Amino acid sequence: MRIWVTRPEPDATSLKARLMAQGHEVIIEPLMWIDFNDADPIELDGAQALIATSRNGVRAVAKTEDVAFARRLPLYAVGPGTAAAAKALGFSSIIEGPANSADLVHTIAAHADINGGPLVHLAGASVAHDLAGELRHLGFVVFQPIVYTARTANHLANKFLPKLVMGEIDAVILLSAKTADTYVGLVNAHQLVRSARKIRHYCLSQAIADRLEPLQPNVIKVPDRPNIKEILALTAE
Q: What does the pLDDT look like over 167-194, one tens digit per residue?
A: 999 999 999 999 999 999 999 999 999 9
131 and 168 within one domain: no
Which CATH number do you get for residue 80?
3.40.50.10090
- What pTM value is reported for the model? 0.85
Each residue's pLDDT tens digit, 21-59? 999 999 999 999 999 998 999 999 999 999 999 999 999
Question: What tens digit of pLDDT does each residue of 146-175 get?
Answer: 999 999 999 999 999 999 999 999 999 999
pLDDT at residue 65, as a whole number: 93
pLDDT confidence of residue 122:
97
Verify that 13 and 114 share a domain, yes or no: no
85-119 pLDDT tens trace: 999 999 999 999 998 888 999 999 999 999 999 99
Are 223 and 159 members of one domain? yes
User: Is residue 9 domain-shared with residue 88, that is, in the same domain?
Assistant: no
Pair 146, 40 in one domain: yes
The residue out of 125, 150, 175 marking a domain boundary is 150
Domain housing 122: 35-150
* Rounded alpha-carbon distances, angstroms, from residue 101 to 19, 104, 135, 171, 193: 27, 5, 11, 28, 33
Does 180 lie in the same domain as 97?
no
Per DSSP, what are the bridge partners of residue 3? Answer: 26, 171
| Calpha distance 72→141 (Å, rounded) | 20
Same domain, 52 and 106: yes
Query: pLDDT digit string (tens) for 191-221?
Result: 999 999 999 999 999 999 999 999 999 999 9
Same domain, 41 and 105: yes
Query: Do 170 and 189 fall into the same domain?
Result: yes
Determine how many CB atoms are found less than 10 A away from the CB of residue 209: 19
Do 158 and 216 lie in one domain? The reply is yes
Report how many domains make up the chain.
2
H-helix or E-strand spanning residue 2? strand 2-5
pLDDT at res. 127: 86
Kindly tell me if the per-residue pLDDT of 128 is higher than 90.
Answer: no
In this predicted structure, what is the pLDDT of residue 227?
86
| pLDDT for 225 | 86
In this structure, the answer to whether residues 199 and 133 fall within a common structural domain is: no
Residues 27 and 108 in one domain: no
* Mean pLDDT calculated for residue range 131-158: 96
